[in-house]
Amino acid sequence: MTTAPASRTHGRRFVLHDVSWKQYEGLLRQFGDRHLFLTYYRGTLEFMSPSFPHDRYSRLIFMLVRVMAEELNVPIISAGTTTFRRKSLKVGIEADEAFYTTHERSMRGLKEVDLAIDPPPDLAIEVEVSRRMGKRTAIYARLGIPEVWSFNGEKLKVQVLGSNKRYTVVDCSPTFPRVPLATVNAFILNGVSSEENEWLKSFRALIKNLPSA
């Protein structure tokens, strides 16, 4: 393994190169449940410790997704920051949040996820307030995750995976097509300076009163 200098933005980031898959899996076992993101792409391994703003946005988006799923009757299983990896593809990643919706039923009761036989999550959330490996979108595409939301601290972007294995930016979420993205974006921004209970009640009321499909 070779190392690259650590860089600091809002969180801490450290990159290793020439990392074998065996070394990657060993490090995953070693770090266990520590709050540290490990991203692996064909021999390059990035360690990232999230910052307070990063986790704040991530949890706000998680809460919004849960309310939308509940109020719009979208079946859902939260996968959190589960490590999704495929040895055959030489990629591994932890989203900031991940969810199963379309494949919710098939994931009930599972204690482990093996992407060689199990589906990838249907929706992944990426918070981009800190510098991270530029290959993350390519990893999601390789794993076949159909929908990715990314938030850079100002704007929410939704991307959908096409048959060409490339992501395209879309105007509405396939998972929640009735909810305007501008509304979700505004609530994410407002949530940072709001008391969460009242903020979430306001969002729930808005979703309850959306026009019928």
CATH of the domain at 71: 3.90.1570.10
pLDDT at 1: 55
CA distances 74 to 63, 180, 202, Å, are 14, 16, 20
CA nearest to 75, candidates 57, 51, 92, 99: 99
Task: Look at the chain and report how many structural domains it folds into.
Answer: 1
Residue-wise pLDDT tens digits, 148-195: 999 999 999 999 999 999 999 999 999 999 999 999 999 999 999 999
In this predicted model, what pLDDT tens digit does every residue of 85-132 receive, in sequence order? Answer: 999 999 999 999 999 999 999 999 999 999 999 999 999 999 987 666
On whether residue 79 sits in a domain, the answer given is yes
- Residue 116 located in a structural domain: yes
- With respect to residue 33, please indicate whether it lies within any of the assigned structural domains: no
Read off the pLDDT of residues 51-86 as tens digits, 9 standing for 90 and up. Answer: 888 899 999 999 999 999 999 999 999 999 999 999
71 within some domain: yes
Residue at 18 is within a domain: no
| 178, part of any domain | yes
| Residues 61, 65, 66: CA angle, nearest 5 degrees | 120
| Domain carrying residue 197 | 51-208
